[in-house]
């Protein structure tokens, strides 16, 4: 059976969670086999294997890829992500430009291609990396548009935005006029991402009904790359992304 890219990624993530079977016993040579009479059968105790997980949450922790950025956690002063590269033009919403880390672009390529193979999905990127200075302009735009109180629910103050990490992007779809609205969740792209984004290492940062935890309104378009194995563990945890990343930091002693 030939696996497509999506099937291979899912299988890889699943295999990462499969325990290894370790044979019990010592390194000594095995004892010789002693035949027992057929008229006096005996039964030896069944040997059981020790089950050991392949990795813990601490093993998944990447101090750069899993940096905390939220209302409570600020990025270091002057932070600029490594190895930013331009996003291919055909991945972008018309008239847009942007950049992401090279490793994120590598992860995005199969995801974008697989999404486009599904009928009706026209997944595009509307925005991606924003520098500290660009976030100043973005946040001020929302303050001027909706007032500061509402702006803080919809946009991060400079130095606290996941977009500054270079691993985060806002997707868009023509279904709802390319707008960053909750209706994106009902678009073909939004539905596809909700089902498949984690398979490629991407996590939804601000889920529905979790503003008290995340600090932000529901944003079905906002996804952050955390790696395939970490995304599978995040999905299985049932936690919001910020809670999951906090747990990663705690278990890694970071």
Same domain, 94 and 116: yes
Same domain, 82 and 24: no
**DSSP designation for 138:** H
The upper half-sphere exposure of residue 152, i.e. CA atoms within 13 Å in the direction of its Cβ, equals: 6
Q: What is the CATH number of the domain that holds 138?
A: 3.30.1380.10
Decide if pLDDT at 38 tops 50: no
**What is the per-residue pLDDT for 13?**
52
What residues contact 64, with CB distance under 8 A and at least 6 apart?
Answer: 82
Angle, alpha carbons 42-47-48 (nearest 5°): 145
Same domain, 48 and 63: no
Residue 203: band (very low, low, confident or very high) from pLDDT cuts 50, 70, 90: very high
Q: Which domain holds residue 163?
A: 59-252
Same domain, 158 and 238: yes
The upper half-sphere exposure of residue 199, i.e. CA atoms within 13 Å in the direction of its Cβ, equals: 19
Same domain, 48 and 93: no
Token pair 């086999």 is at which residue?
33
Token pair 């970490």 is at which residue?
230
**What is the per-residue pLDDT for 188?**
97
Decide if pLDDT at 55 tops 90: no
Compute CA distances 192 → 159, 172, 236, whole Å: 31, 12, 18
pTM of the predicted model as reported, rounded to 2 decimal places: 0.79
Count structural domains, the chain. Answer: 2
Same domain, 140 and 223: yes
Same domain, 65 and 83: yes
Beta-ladder partners of 50: 22
- Per DSSP bridges, beta strands 202-204 and 168-172 are unpaired
Same domain, 207 and 142: yes
Same domain, 108 and 21: no
């Amino acid at each position: 059976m030939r696996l497509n890219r999506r099937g291979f990624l899912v299988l890889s993530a699943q295999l990462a969670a499969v325990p290894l079977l370790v044979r019990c016993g010592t390194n000594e040579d095995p004892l010789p086999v002693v035949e027992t009479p057929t008229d006096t059968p005996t039964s030896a105790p069944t040997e059981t294997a020790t089950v050991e997980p392949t990795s813990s949450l601490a093993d998944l922790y990447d101090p750069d890829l899993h940096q905390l950025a939220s209302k409570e956690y600020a990025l270091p002063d002057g932070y600029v992500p490594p190895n930013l590269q331009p996003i291919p033009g055909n991945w972008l919403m018309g008239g847009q430009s942007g950049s992401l880390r090279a490793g994120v672009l590598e992860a995005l390529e199969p995801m974008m291609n697989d999404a486009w193979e599904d009928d009706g999905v026209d997944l595009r990127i509307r925005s991606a990396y924003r520098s500290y200075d660009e976030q100043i302009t973005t946040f001020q735009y929302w303050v001027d548009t909706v007032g500061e109180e509402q702006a803080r629910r919809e946009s991060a103050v400079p130095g606290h935005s996941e977009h500054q990490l270079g691993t985060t992007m806002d997707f868009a779809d023509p279904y709802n006029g390319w707008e960053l609205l909750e209706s994106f969740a009902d678009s073909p792209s939004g539905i596809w991402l909700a089902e498949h984004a984690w398979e490629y290492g991407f996590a939804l940062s601000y889920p529905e009904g979790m503003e008290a935890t995340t600090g932000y309104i529901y944003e079905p378009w906002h996804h952050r790359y955390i790696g395939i194995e970490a995304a599978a563990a995040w999905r299985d945890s049932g936690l919001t992304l910020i809670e999951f990343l906090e747990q990663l930091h705690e278990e890694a002693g970071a």
